[in-house]
Amino acid sequence: MLPASLVLLLAKATLVLLAAWGVTRLLQRAPAGTRHVVWLVTLAGLLLVPALATWAPLRLAVLPAEPAPVVAPTVAPIVAPPVASAPTAASSSRTEAPAVAAPALPAESDVATSTPLLRRLLGLAPSLLALWAAVALVIGASLAKAWLAVRRIIRRAEPLDGHDWLDPMWEIADRLGLDDAPRLLRSADAKMPFACGILQPTIVLPAESDGWSLDRRRAVLLHELAHVRRRDLAGHTLARLTCALWWFHPLVWTAARRLRAESERACDDLALSCGARAADYAEHLLDIVTSVRGDATPITALAMARRTEFEGRMLDILDPERPRTAPSRRQTASLVAVLALITVTVSAAAPAPRAATAAPTATPASVVVDDDPEVRDETSASQVDVRTETRVEKRTSVERQRQRTIATVESTDAPNPAPNPAPNPAPNPAPEPVVESAPSVALRMLMGRDAQPPRAEAKDERATLLAKVLRTDTSASLRRVAAWGLSEYADESVAAAALAEALRRDASVAVREMAAWSLSDSDDDVARAALVAALRDANARVRATAAWSLGDAGDASSVEALVGALADTSAAVRARAIWAIGNIEPRTAPRQLVALLGDRDARVRQLTAWALYEIEDPATAPALQAALRAETEKELQLGYIRALATLGEKSVEALRGLLESNDQNVRTIAVRALAGGHAAGLWPWPWPDPRPHP
């Protein structure tokens, strides 16, 4: 019955949503990314609820048992004793008693159509279906209109391709592990920064972004690139489609709002984990939100912030106790498995009536009175014979089934018998074995067990062609693109040799910088020698990129050359050399590295503290304590505390005085540092600077 099915479907969706709500309540203090996974899986599961409910393989006997129908048995003659007072011809005649009629049961269709309420519900079913389809089409049309509005904004926007935007964007893309950064556009039609596009991610910035400071640009790009990194655009689209299907259910709209809110908080957590200062990040978001009046960002895009949800985000950003680490793959897989099990179980369950009890035997439909003893005896004998034959047939059938089962088990468990020389006819004889020649067997073994017949394959000559362009082309821009492309083949000798040659001899700084970056993926000795030599290049950008590549490769033999780069006149080169040493993690911290705790550049000091945090050399404790006493910047003080936290008992004296600090964040990290190891938390900074990109 259609109305009953709709009510059951609505109840199942409600149970799934309530289960998700309960799980998120249990995860209230968990990172926002964990709760986002809960709502995402729930909304995705709601799209499958109608199909699973139709399939309904799990029948639950929870309804009352249906009354068993009364079946009239076959008419059996009942023989009455003879009447002694009538020994006449009439005694051999049979007298049939009047038949007892069984009560008539109404048909199911008659019951359904006899109830006025059910008839009205059945009559409303087509109207309800039409109403649902009409509203779903309206919501779908609004989504299509919003998508077209985004397309129009993108077509009328202009790309931002200057270094003041691309450099911080690639820097943040490197921190987030994005292989390809999205398009970056500037539009006069946009009031709020937003991200859009699933297949081709795009970030659109308002015209006011021209006057933003570098810190604000980084804060905005961190948040928007976090959406791209987390693939929130796909989840946002899925939520909209679920709302279009379940528009009549208020909890579905609530779940979609919670999904968006948790995605924004998760992006904030990711931005703070990548080094953004909470106070500065919150200030930038607040200024952007308060400066926008009447935000008209299309619903298919992810705006950076909305007034209705910003208060809670601000409190979460400034809360130092809130966990910000994203769930691991194992945690995400476990959570998805649990939620999927709940959704499938609830959706596929179908209430069914309990098993009905055996119906009582009905009264015989007719009674035959016979006063003839011979007839009575023949009838009784025939009934006995029928019952006996039935029992014999049943026993024979059971015995045959038992014999077949025993034969099957014995044939399965018994070992393979020895081959019988006598020919056994079989309906499907086995095919004759195919004899392969020795060359074909060898070729098949070389190509693999399931290999197809050999086919001619063209050799990949892209590395050779790109190396030729890098060596011979007169255009510096083309040589730079060729060097960038050779990063995919850096482990091949032809690519490593061409990149090393370009790094040593190319006249273009951009080409040498790109060649230095591409060589980070090469294990060739020629590449390492070229990178070490590039630490003395005339251009600081090339020296800095060479230091980064050596650190990214993680070769311990490069530490000595990187220590020499610590004395470079460029702070950027010193910073990347420090990062490289920290990434390699030598057993002991070089004294030249420890001396940079007193460098005049704040970022160099911060990177030095991070490198010592990674190396964990107990001999650096006195230098870290002295730097902690002399440092005035709070963020650097926290970095020194984190570095001291890895040194065990060597850090106790330095941390003792911090327990009385007026700053709760300082006291928290100090207590965690005393707890041992990396209990002070993950290091929020630094990551390598941006890689070059053509």
Q: How confident is the model over 489-516, as a mean pLDDT?
A: 92
225 and 323 belong to one structural domain: yes
Domain-ending residue, one of 564, 586, 608:
586
576 and 633 belong to one structural domain: no
Extract the tokens encoding 396.
């024979």
Answer yes or no: are the C-beta atoms of 463 and 469 closer than 8 Å.
no
472 and 396 belong to one structural domain: no
Q: Would the pLDDT of 310 be above 80? A: no
| 650-692 per-position pLDDT tens digit | 667 767 777 777 777 777 777 776 776 444 445 555 555 556 6
Of 57-61, 195-199, 459-463, 472-476, the poorest mean pLDDT is in: 57-61
Other Cβ atoms less than 10 A from the Cβ of 381: the count is: 10
Q: How confident is the model over 596-613, as a mean pLDDT?
A: 89
What is the rounded distance in angstroms from the CA atom of residue 519 to the CA atom of residue 465? 18
pTM of the predicted structure, to 2 decimals: 0.58
Domain-ending residue, one of 531, 562, 586:
586
378 and 347 belong to one structural domain: no
Q: Percentage of the chain surpassing pLDDT 90?
A: 31
Q: Would the pLDDT of 581 be above 80? A: yes
Residue 429 in domain:
no
Domains in the chain, number: 4
Q: What is the residue-wise DSSP string for 133-179? A: HHHHHHHHHHHHHHHHHHHHHHHH-EE--SHHHHHHHHHHHHHHT-S
481 and 570 belong to one structural domain: yes
Of 253-262, 384-393, 575-584, 669-678, the poorest mean pLDDT is in: 384-393
Residue 262 in domain:
yes
Answer yes or no: are the C-beta atoms of 246 and 135 closer than 8 Å.
no
| 4-32 per-position pLDDT tens digit | 677 788 888 999 999 999 999 999 888 99
288 and 338 belong to one structural domain: yes
378 and 348 belong to one structural domain: no
Tokens 């791209």 belong to residue: 228
SS3 213: coil
Task: Determine the pLDDT at residue 508.
Answer: 94
Residue 84 in domain:
no
Q: How confident is the model over 78-104, as a mean pLDDT?
A: 45
267 and 170 belong to one structural domain: yes
Task: Determine the pLDDT at residue 433.
Answer: 45
Residue 633 in domain:
yes
Task: Determine the pLDDT at residue 691.
Answer: 61
Residue 457 in domain:
no
Residue 101 in domain:
no
Tokens 């309804």 belong to residue: 63
Task: Determine the pLDDT at residue 419.
Answer: 40
Extract the tokens encoding 173.
């893309």
Answer yes or no: are the C-beta atoms of 508 and 653 closer than 8 Å.
no
Task: Determine the pLDDT at residue 73.
Answer: 52
| 124-152 per-position pLDDT tens digit | 667 878 888 999 999 999 999 999 999 99
Task: Determine the pLDDT at residue 205.
Answer: 94
Task: Determine the pLDDT at residue 589.
Answer: 93
Residues near 153 by beta carbon (within 8 Å), at least 6 away in sequence: 187, 189, 190, 204, 298
Q: Where does the pLDDT of residue 69 fall: very low under 50, low under 70, confident under 90, or very high at 90 and above? A: low
Residue 511 in domain:
yes
677 and 576 belong to one structural domain: no
Domain that holds residue 340: 1-61+113-352
Residue 427 in domain:
no
Other Cβ atoms less than 10 A from the Cβ of 259: the count is: 24
212 and 141 belong to one structural domain: yes
Task: Determine the pLDDT at residue 240.
Answer: 93
480 and 544 belong to one structural domain: yes
Q: How confident is the model over 114-120, as a mean pLDDT?
A: 55
382 and 348 belong to one structural domain: no
Answer yes or no: are the C-beta atoms of 584 and 611 closer than 8 Å.
no
Q: 318 or 71: whose pLDDT is higher?
A: 318
Extract the tokens encoding 509.
């700084």
Task: Determine the pLDDT at residue 329.
Answer: 83
Q: Where does the pLDDT of residue 631 fall: very low under 50, low under 70, confident under 90, or very high at 90 and above? A: confident
| 364-422 per-position pLDDT tens digit | 444 444 444 444 444 444 444 444 444 445 445 545 555 554 454 444 444 444 344 33
Q: 486 or 675: whose pLDDT is higher?
A: 486
